């Protein structure tokens, strides 16, 4: 916070770091890095955290390193630690004012970072932001304009599959997709639980929704900027569920319940109980008949429950302390 004040007094541009987690991403990473390097807002550092790729990903990144040694840093993990832990590695290594979390299959327009940072600088209550993400194979169709959550705590990419001209208005959203999300350092520090920004118990999938929910509970806003454009290849699309490895299907399924357990409090959920029960009976019935092995993920939930409970308790304390701070400020 002190550094932030000094930077603004000195009229210095905010520092931005970009971090990309790769896993067998050799077909995409070159285009992704090229677009990051040519951003109109200066990028202080680019962290590529490789999760033990078995293809030529590391070789492609090393070719960029030879030309941009001062800007790119390659971190090679000995095993696939998962999306959430690997991005936390990058967050801990970076010291920037803003952190752009980026998928290797996303190509950003040159002013993507500039548009988001300028908007966030104008409104410090915004802790996360995203631009308009469109599909690579049809740039007129929306991939994501942020995240929405329904009344039974299912999250979706806002506008997915719809024409891009319908989403030309910028505005506040529930959260932002981790495919191309920028987060302020102040918010990262404020909402981290057990020193983790992304919950490492998630491995991958819905960790961005969990962050969005937690940030909202702690008073942070998320914003969609329609003028910032990103093109997303998206490795998994609708209709391809059966092709996903069992481990990934299990994580995608169970992480919703981990998120609900940690973030939902009070008795407000009771009014949505009929809808919730109908959905849960339906989805568990389907899994029992069609994908029974996915239900084995509940073993993981109960194994991790003590730690999830500790995280839930820490979050509740943060929310309570923030409420007390607001009350104190209001009474002055």
Count Cα atoms within 13 angstroms, Cβ side, for 4: 11
pLDDT > 60? residue 7: no
Angle at 88 between CA 250 and CA 179, to 5 degrees: 65
What is the pLDDT, as a whole number, of residue 326? 80
- Please give the radius of gyration of the chain, using alpha carbons only, rounded to the nearest integer: 20
Q: pLDDT tens-digit profile of 143-193?
A: 999 999 999 999 999 999 999 999 999 999 999 999 999 999 999 999 999
φ and ψ at residue 236, rounded to 5 degrees? -110, 125
Q: pLDDT tens-digit profile of 99-158?
A: 999 999 999 999 999 999 999 999 999 999 999 999 999 999 999 999 999 999 999 999
Q: What share of the chain is helix, strand, coil (3-state, %, to 5)?
A: 45, 25, 30
Q: Specify the higher pLDDT residue, 323 or 154.
A: 154
**84-122: burial string, b at 16+ Cβ within 10 Å, e else:** bbbbbbbbeebebbbbbbbbbbbbbbebbbbbbbebbee
Pick from 46, 63, 47, 50: which is nearest to 24 by CA? 50
pLDDT > 70? residue 47: yes
DSSP state of 169: -
Pick from 24, 163, 184: which is nearest to 99 by CA? 184
Q: Domain 2-232 adopts which CATH fold?
A: Spore Coat Polysaccharide Biosynthesis Protein SpsA; Chain A (3.90.550)
Residue 325's pLDDT band, with cuts at 50, 70 and 90, is confident
What is the pLDDT, as a whole number, of residue 6? 46
What would the mean pLDDT of 276-305 be, rounded to a whole number?
95
Pick from 241, 137, 233: which is nearest to 180 by CA? 233
Residue 211's pLDDT band, with cuts at 50, 70 and 90, is very high
Structural domain boundaries of the chain?
2-232, 241-323
To the nearest whole percent, how much of the chain has pLDDT over 70? Answer: 94
Whether 295 and 287 have beta carbons less than 8 Å apart is answered as: yes
pLDDT > 60? residue 10: no
What is the pLDDT, as a whole number, of residue 269? 81
pLDDT > 70? residue 84: yes
pLDDT > 50? residue 8: yes
Which of 6-10, 78-82, 135-139, 241-245 shows the lowest per-residue confidence on average (mean pLDDT)? Answer: 6-10
Q: pLDDT tens-digit profile of 235-256?
A: 655 545 556 789 889 999 999 9
């Amino acid at each position: 916070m002190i550094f932030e004040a000094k930077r603004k007094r000195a009229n210095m541009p905010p520092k931005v770091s970009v971090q990309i987690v790769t896993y067998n991403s050799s077909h995409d990473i070159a285009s992704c890095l090229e677009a990051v390097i040519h951003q109109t807002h200066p990028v202080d550092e680019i962290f590529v955290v490789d999760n033990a790729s078995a293809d030529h990903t590391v070789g492609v990144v090393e070719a960029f390193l030879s030309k941009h040694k001062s800007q790119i840093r390659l971190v090679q993990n000995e095993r696939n630690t998962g999306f959430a832990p690997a991005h936390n590695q990058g967050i801990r290594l970076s010291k920037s004012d803003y952190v752009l979390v980026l998928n290797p299959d996303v190509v950003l327009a040159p002013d993507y970072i500039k548009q988001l940072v300028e908007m966030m600088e104008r409104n410090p209550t915004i802790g996360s932001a995203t631009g308009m993400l469109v599909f690579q194979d049809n740039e007129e169709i929306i991939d994501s304009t942020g995240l929405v959550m329904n009344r039974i705590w299912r999250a979706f990419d806002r506008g997915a599959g719809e024409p891009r001209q319908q989403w030309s208005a910028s505005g506040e959203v529930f959260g932002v997709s981790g495919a191309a999300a920028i987060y302020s350092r102040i918010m990262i520090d404020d909402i981290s639980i057990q020193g983790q920004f992304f919950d490492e118990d998630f491995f991958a999938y819905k960790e961005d929704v969990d962050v969005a929910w937690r940030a909202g509970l702690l008073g942070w806003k998320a914003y969609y900027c329609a003028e910032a454009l990103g093109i997303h290849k998206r490795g998994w699309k609708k209709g391809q569920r059966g092709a996903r490895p069992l481990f990934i299907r299990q994580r995608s399924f169970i992480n919703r319940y981990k998120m609900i357990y940690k973030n939902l409090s009070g008795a407000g959920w009771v009014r949505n109980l009929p809808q919730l029960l109908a959905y849960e009976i339906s989805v568990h019935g389907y899994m029992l008949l069609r994908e029974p092995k996915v239900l084995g993920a509940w073993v993981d939930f109960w194994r991790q429950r003590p730690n999830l409970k500790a995280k839930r308790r820490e979050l509740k304390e943060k929310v309570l302390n923030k409420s007390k701070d607001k009350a104190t400020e209001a009474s002055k």
